[in-house]
Amino acid sequence: MKDLSERELLQDTGDAADDHVKAGAQYTSQPIVRVACLFGLLLLVSLAAMYAVLGDCEPLSEPLNKTLNEPLNEPLNDTTPLFITLGDSITQIGAHPRLMGYQVMLTNTYVRKADVVNRGAAGTTTKWWLVKLPSLLRDWKLKPPTLLSIFLGVNDASLINGVDRGLHVPLDEFTANLYTMIASINEAFPKCKILLIAASAVDETSSWRTGRSNAEVSKYTNATINVARHLQLPVIDLFTPTFNDLSLFYDGLHLNSRGNIILHDLFVDTVRQSYPDLDPETLPAAY
Catalytic residue numbers, as ranges: 89, 251, 254
Contacts of 267 (CB under 8 A, 6+ apart): 102, 106, 149, 195, 197, 236
Contact 245, 251 (CB under 8 A): no
Question: Burial code of 227-259, b = ≥16 C-beta within 10 A, e = fewer?
Answer: bbeeeebbbbbbbebbbeebebbbebbbbebeb
Sort strands 147-151 and 82-87 into parallel, antiparallel or unpaired. Answer: parallel
CA 179 to mean position of chain CA atoms? 27
DSSP state of 113: T
Extract the runs of DSSP E, i.e. beta strands, from the chain: 82-87, 115-120, 147-151, 193-198, 235-237
Written as one letter, the residue type at 191 is: K
Task: For Cα atoms 75, 76, 77, give the angle at the middle one, nearest 5 degrees.
Answer: 115
Tally Cβ neighbours within 10 Å of residue 261: 16
